[in-house]
Structure 1
Amino acid sequence: MTTSHAQGIGLDAAAAHIAGSALRDGPLGCVGLELESHLLDPLSPGEPVAWDRLTRSVDACGPLPGGSRITVEPGGQVELSAPPAPDVAAAVLGLRADHATLTAALAADGLALALIGTDPLRPPRRVNRAARYAAMEDHFAAVGCADAGARMMTSTAALQVNLDAGPAAGWSDRLALAHRLGPVLVAVSACSPLAAGRPGGWRSTRQQIWGELDSARCGPVLTGDDPAAEWAAYALAAPVMLVRDPVTGTAEPVRARVPLADWVTGESRLGGRAATEADVDYHLTTLFPPVRLRGYLEIRYLDTAPEPWWPALAAVTTTLMDDPVAAGRAADACAPVAGRWSDAARLGLADAALRTAAVACLTAALDATPPALSAEVGSLLELVIRGQSPGDALLERAGGSDPLAVLRAATDLPEGRP
C-alpha cells in the first residue's frame, strides 16, 4: 500500500466535516427505495450462483425503465437502488417496474430473485470478489464477530427507505421518531423466519444477525438536541474497518479496534499514513446503524419481503415519518415499546404490546396513505391485526417451514416452474 506522511485531517476538522454532511436542511417529500433480493438458480437452489454467470446476467439487463442502479452484495444478493421520487407512490411505481424488468431478464438466463430477509436454505458464502468485502470479512473476524459478519454480508436482504431530513428545526424530533418506530416496524416487516436451512426461533433473523454485530458500528445512534453532532461523535468512536489505497483501489483490513478518532488525531497511523478527508468519507460507508445519516435519512431496519408487502412497508414507513398527523399518532403508539429492538426481532407481533402499537401505527398510516397504495397497506393491516407479519404469510404460501419450499415461495416464479 502507498505510504504518505501527509498531515492528518485533525479531530475538529473531521468532526465538523461529518456533522456538516449529516443532514440537509429542506422540505420533506422525496423518497428513495432500495430493494435487495437473493439470487438463485431454481434448478440448483442449494448452491450459490457462480460469480461469472451472475455478473454476465446482471450486466446484460441494461438500463432499467425507472432508472434504478443494480449492484451485487457479497453473497450474490442483487440490490436495486432507485433514484429519488417526488412521493412514495411514484417511488414504488418506478421500483416495481425495475424489479419486474430485472426479474424477466434474469429468468431468460434461468435465474430467479427471492424476496426474503434471510436466505432460508444456503449457508453463508461470499461470491463477490471486491477488495472491500474481503477486508470486511477479515475485520469482522478480528474483532470477534466472524459468524455474524459473514451472515450479515452474504445471507441477509433488506428494504431501505430513504427520506429527506426536513427542516433543520425539526431534525431532533424526526430522528427520535425514526428510532421510536424501529422496533414496531421490525416486527411488522419481519420476513426472515429461517436461515441456512433451519428455523432460528426469531421472526426477523435478519435483525437478530445485525444485533450480534459490533454495536459501535451497527447499534442505534443516540440522538438528542443536535443529531448532526451526535452522528459525528458516533462515527469518530466507531472502529475503522479498512484502509483503502486511493490509487490502486486495494483495501487493507484493520485487524484491531482503532476508533476513527485515533486515526485522524495521529495516535494511530493506519496503512502507514495519516487519515484524509476522503478516508473519513469512506469510513462513513462502513457504518450500519438502523438509521444512517447521509444528508437524508436511511431507514435500514426493514426486512425485504415479497409483493404486496414491500410496497406496503415502503408506504407505511414514509407516511408515518412524513405525514404530521400520522407521525404524531405513531409516536404516541410506539412510546410503550421504545427500544425493544431485540424483542421485536425475536417475538414479532406475538408480543401483545408490539402488536397493539403496530395496529395503531398501521391504522394511522392507512388513513394518510396515497390512494395508489391503500390496498397494499390495507392488506398489511389485516395481516397485523391477525398478529402476523410477511414471514408468516410466506410460510403459509410455502405450506410449512421446509427451507427449499420457503425459498421458492419467496421468488416470482410462476406455478409449474422448477
Structure 2
Amino acid sequence: MARDQIDMTPLQSRDELVAWLEAGVKPESEFRIGTEHEKTPFTLEGHQPVPYEGAKGIGALLEGMKLLLGWEPIMERGNIIGLYDVTGGGAISLEPGGQFELSGAPVETVHQTQSELMAHLAQVREIATPLGIGFLGLGMTPSWSRAQIPVMPKGRYKIMRNYMPKVGKYGLDMMFRTCTVQTNLDFSSEADMVKKLRVSLALQPIATALFANSPFTEGKPNGFLSFRSEIWRDTDNARSGMVPFAFEDGMGFERYVDYALDVPMYFVKRDEEYIDVSGSSFRDFFAGKNAALPGERPTLSDWANHLSTIFPEVRLKRYLEMRGADGVPWGRLPALPAFWVGLLYDNDNLDAAWDIVRHWTAPERQALRDDVPRFGFKSRIKDRYLFEIAKECLILSHAGLRRRGRIDHLGRDESRFLEPLERIIETGRSPAEEMLEKFNGPWKGSVEPAYQEYAF
C-alpha cells in the first residue's frame, strides 16, 4: 500500500469525489505502468518469521535501506515503517506481517519495470543478507501458523486486525500470510476506464490461474492452487469481489463513487493518530454523521485513504489496479505487467478481449472466480475451459506487445517477458501444480526446499 495521502481540504460535494477519480484520465502518450510486489521475509537460518524489533529485524532492514537509497523514511510513533523516493520514484512499505512491498515508479515500458526490479532486489540483498534475512516469492507463507507471525507497528493494521474477524473467516490470513504482485494501468477517458475495468475484471481469473502459487498452509497441501485467491472470497465481501455493477448500463466514475461511499470504513487519520471508525460508511461521514468525529467533514486525504481500503479483484483509483495474482519468484514478476499491457494498452486487443467476455453473465463470472482458486485452468465458463481462454489471451497479449514495439538495448520487444507464462501454457500446469509435484516427489513431503528454490 502506498503511503497515506495528505490533503486536508474538507469536501463539500460528491462531485469532488468524482473529480478526484476523473483526474486520472490522461492521453495515451502519457500512459504508464506501475508494478507492486510483496515478498515474505524469513530468517536464512531456520526459515522463521522476522520480527520488527532487534538488530536483525525488519526495522533494521528499513534503516539500512534508508542509508543505502537516501529515500525519505515514513515514520509512525518513532518507528520506521516505510521509505519513499522524493523524486517521484517508488516506495517501500510493510504489510501487516512484515511482507516487504516495493511500489514501483510509474514507468513507460516493461523493460524499465524489469530494471527497477533488479536494482531493488540487489539493494535489498545488500542490506538483508548480512542481517540473515531472505525473501520468499510465494502467494502465501508455506509453513507458518498465523500465531507465529509478528505484527508490524502500524496503527491502521491494528484497527483492521480487530475488525477483520467480524466480517470474514480469512481476513487475518490475508493480512499476515499472503503476498501479491499487481499492475497499475492508466485510462484515456471514462469510457476507456469502463471498458478496461470490465475486460480486466472478467479476465482476472486468468491471472489467478497463471500465477497460482499458494498450495501450502502450515507445511501441508491445502487443497487449492491459489489459496491466496480463496482467502479473498471470505475476507470481507463488502469491499472485495467481482464488482458486478461495473457491467451494468451507466457505469462510470460516479457509479464507483456511490459504491465506495457505502463500503464500510476502517479508520480516519488525524496527524499521527488513527481513529477507529470501522464499520461506519463514508456516506455518513460525508454528511457530518460519524460518531467518532461528530460534525466533521472528510478531506480529500480521507477519501484517498478510504479508496485504498477497498479490495475488489480490479480496483479503481486514479488508475486501474489488477489484483488477482499471487506473489511469485522474481523471474516471473515482470510477466504480470507484460500480460496486462499487451491486452489492455492495445485498442485492437481491448476490443478482441471484450468480444471474449461480453456475453458472460454476472453469475457466470462469479462462478469462474469461485472455481479458479481450486481448479485453476480446469475451471469452466459457458462451454470453455479457462485454459483455452488463457491461451487465447496470451496470444493476443504477445501480439499487442509486439505491435507496441518498445525495444530494449538488445533490440528485443516486451513480449519476451511473457516467456514464463508461455511455458506454463505449454505444460498446461500452473506454478502451484508444479510445486505440488515437487512436494510429492523430490521434496519428499516437505515445504522447506521452497525457501531455496522460490527465494528472491
TM-score where L is the length of structure 2? 0.80
2:265 to 240, 246, 264: 240
1:403 is paired with a residue whose SS is coil
Are residues 139 and 379 of structure 1, via their aligned partners in 2, closer, same or farther at CA, if it must alter by over 3 Å? Answer: closer
Q: Check whether the contact 2:51–2:150 (CA below 8 A) recurs between aligned residues.
A: no
Which letter does structure 2 place at the counterpart of 1:382?
R
More displaced stretch, 286-295 vs 363-372: 363-372
The equivalent residue for 1:310 is 333
Q: State the distance in 2 between where 1:328 and 1:97 align.
A: 36
Corresponding position: 1:96 with 2:113: no
1:3 aligned partner = none
> For 1:354-378, what per-residue CA distance to the aligned partner results, in whole angstroms no more than 9, with x for missing partners?
1111111112112233544434413
State the 1:334 CA deviation.
4.5
How has the CA–CA distance of structure 1 residues 264 and 325 changed in structure 2, closer, same or farther, with 3 Å as cutoff? same
Q: Which residue of 2 aligns with 1:81?
A: 103
Give 1:19's aligned residue: 18
1:319/1:327 contact within 8 Å kept: no
Q: Are 1:39 and 1:49, in contact at CA under 8 Å, matched by a contact in 2?
A: no
Maintained 8 Å contact 1:243/1:271: no
- Aligned with 1:55 (options 50, 56, 59): 59
| Structure 1 residue 273: Cα displacement | 4.9
CA contact (8 A) 2:49 2:150 kept: no
User: Is the deviation greater in 365-374 or in 212-221?
Assistant: 365-374
The C-alpha deviation readout for 1:226-285, integer Å capped at 9, x for no partner, is: 3211210111110111233x13x2223335x32221222244422445232243332222
Distance 1:156 1:37 in 2: 9
Are 1:281 and 2:304 counterparts?
yes
Q: CA deviation at 1:396?
A: 5.0
Q: Distance in 2 between matches of 1:306 and 1:394?
A: 12
Tell me, in whole angstroms, the C-alpha distance in 1 between the residues paired with 2:48 and 2:289: 47
Distance in structure 2 (CA, Å) of the matches to 1:195 and 1:320: 33
Among candidates 192, 204, 229, match of residue 214 of structure 2? 192
* Cα distance change, pair 378–148 in 1 and its aligned pair in 2 (3 A): same
Residue 84 of structure 1 aligns to a residue whose secondary structure is coil
Q: Which residue number corresponds to residue 209 of structure 1?
A: 231
Tell me by how many angstroms 1:320 deviates: 1.0
CA distance, structure 2, for counterparts of residue 299 and residue 202 of structure 1: 21
- How far apart are 1:155 and its partner, in Å? 0.7
Give 1:330's aligned residue: 353
Q: CA RMSD in A?
A: 2.5
Query: Cα offset for 1:35?
Result: 1.0
Check conservation: 2:213, 2:432, Cα contact below 8 A: yes
Alignment of 1:323-362 (within 5 A): 323-334=346-357, 338-339=365-366, 340-351=368-379, 353-362=385-394
Q: Distance in 2 between matches of 1:203 and 1:275?
A: 45
Helix, strand or coil for the counterpart of 2:448?
Answer: helix
Displacement, 1:321?
Answer: 1.2
2:252 matches 1:230 = no
Q: Secondary structure at the match of 2:239?
A: helix
Give the gaps of 5 or more residues in structure 1: 1-7, 413-418
What is the number of residues matched between the two proteins? 398
Quick one: distance in 2 between partners of 1:70 and 1:368? 31
- Structure 2: state its 5+ residue gaps: 1-9, 72-84, 403-411
**Match status 1:35 vs 2:37:** yes
Please tell me whether the aligned partners of residues 139 and 253 of structure 1 are also in contact (alpha carbons under 8 angstroms).
no
Partner of 1:154: 176
1:321 aligns to 2:344 (yes or no): yes
Q: Which structure is higher in strand share? A: 2
Q: Structure 2 CA distance, aligned partners of 1:196 and 1:64? A: 38
Amino acid at match of 1:35: H
Identity value in percent: 25
Give the counterpart of 1:389 among 408, 427, 430: 430
Q: Is the 8 A contact 1:103 1:113 kept in 2?
A: no
The alignment status of 1:374 with 2:400, answered yes or no, reads no
Give CA deviations for 1:139-182 in whole Å, capped at 9, x if unaligned.
213x333x512111111111110111223342221211121221
Q: Distance in 2 between matches of 1:384 and 1:51?
A: 43
Partner of 1:300: 323
Determine the C-alpha separation between the residues in 2 that align with 1:282 and 1:51: 27
**Counterpart Cα distance in 1 of 2:62 and 2:11:** 39
**2:318 counterpart SS class:** coil
Closer, same or farther: CA 149–275 of 1 in aligned 2, 3 Å: farther
How many Å separate the matches in 2 of 1:385 and 1:333?
A: 21
Paired residues of 2:190 and 2:252 also in contact (CA < 8 A): no
The 1:216–1:16 alpha-carbon spacing in structure 2 relative to 1, beyond 3 Å, is farther
Greater CA drift, 354-363 or 58-67: 58-67
Higher relative contact order at CA 8 Å, sep ≥6: structure 1 or structure 2?
A: 1
Work out which of the residue numbers 363, 382, 385 in structure 1 matches 2:395: 363
Show the counterpart of 1:115. Answer: 137
